[in-house]
Structure 1
Amino acid sequence: MATVTHNQTRRGRRVVLDDHLPVDHRLRRVYRGGAGLMGAFLVVFGVLGLIDRIGFFSTSGSMVMGLGSNGALSVASVLVGGLLLAGAVIGGNTASTVNIIVAVAFLAAGFASLAVLDSRFNVFAFHLQNVVFSFVTGLLLMTFGMYGRVSGSLPHDNPYWQSRHPRS
């Protein structure tokens, strides 16, 4: 597969891909490990919830691994866990980006579920433990995704610092 650089053009327009993001072999273990661990946990949680045959949109749900669950949450957990595992398999910047995006989704889900806790709109049968789990998982995934990528004091040999400060 040929890559397009900044100097090549196609039909007179400059084509720029994500080649400004460095691929750092030392940090990919953090991105992949975080995505893999969290993805595996979510898949196991979702499969156990599906095996339990809980009502799909039951607002009371059932307890699975200490967390409230229903069929919808189980399916969502398997899908999101699969996405994280796919990011872990691909690795590199993809794993980092997937971690960050899923982290934001978990934090948003935590706030949304906190708003509908103990109401008929609680379609994922969340309990307070689920809210705390969403926040903790979101923060962990954010840490895994941004590790070595975002900081005010990155060392000068860090590839992300180098990509932001090209030598002229």
Structure 2
Amino acid sequence: MAHIPINHPLRPLWRTFAGLIGLYILAFGILGVVQTAGEPLFAQDGKWVLGLRTNLAFAIVSIIWGAVLAIGAVVGGNIEHMLNLGAGLVFIVVGLTMMVLLRTDANFLNFSMSTVIVSFVFGLFALTAGFYDKVGSSEDVEAEARFRRHIEAVPTTSRDE
């Protein structure tokens, strides 16, 4: 069993953070597509939108991921839990990869250092939201509490035996 809190009291707060991050990324992507329309997909000319450098490819990817996070926040439940965990890991890995490629011709998403930092911050927030937004039944909560306290489950037997 994973050691992730179930029905945590701060779940609505983290769900809100994940939704706001999704909306920001969605708005960034839409404005990025408008700003970079007509340019090559992987241009590296330094277009800036909402304080981050972008190109058409990065703007399109941002629309997709922003919509995924925003829809996940609306749907909620364990679907959002898995989406936030996955998105958090994706943002951190993409941030690391683009930081390695930052000053090379292989910087195909036209990242700047500020874009890398924002990717890390959004990844950490989405990952944290994924840790705190798991939903389960009262039996799941009880099993998690026993697991945390290292209490073995006592088998229940019928007294009629």
TM-score by length of 1: 0.73
- Once superposed, what is the RMSD of the aligned Cα atoms? 2.7
Q: Does 1:108 align with 2:93?
A: yes
Q: Secondary structure at the match of 2:12?
A: helix
Q: Does 1:117 align with 2:102?
A: yes
CA contact (8 A) 2:6 2:132 kept: no
CA contact (8 A) 1:31 1:96 kept: no
- Distance in 2, matches of 1:121 and 1:145, equals 31
Match of 1:8 in 2: none
- Distance in 1, matches of 2:18 and 2:35, equals 26
- Distance in 1, matches of 2:76 and 2:133, equals 15
Identity percentage over the alignment? 31
| Map 1:73-84 → 2, pairs under 5 A | 73-84=58-69
TM-score by length of 2: 0.76
Q: Secondary structure at the match of 1:63?
A: strand
Match of 1:57 in 2: 42
**Structure 1 residue 161, shift from structure 2 partner:** 1.9
Match of 1:16 in 2: none
Q: Does 1:44 align with 2:27?
A: yes
> Counting helix residues as a fraction of each chain, which structure ranks higher?
2
From the CA coordinates, give the structure whose radius of gyration is larger. Answer: 2
- Distance in 1, matches of 2:54 and 2:10, equals 34
- Name the aligned partner's letter for residue 19 of structure 2: G
Match of 1:4 in 2: none
Relative contact order (C-alpha < 8 Å, sep 6+): which is higher? Answer: 2
**Structure 1 residue 158, shift from structure 2 partner:** 8.5
CA contact (8 A) 1:35 1:95 kept: no
CA contact (8 A) 1:31 1:88 kept: no
- Name the aligned partner's letter for residue 123 of structure 1: F
Q: Secondary structure at the match of 1:68?
A: strand
57 and 27 in structure 1: CA distance in 2 versus 1, 3 angstrom threshold = same
Q: Does 1:143 align with 2:109?
A: no
What is the count of residue pairs matched by the alignment? 141
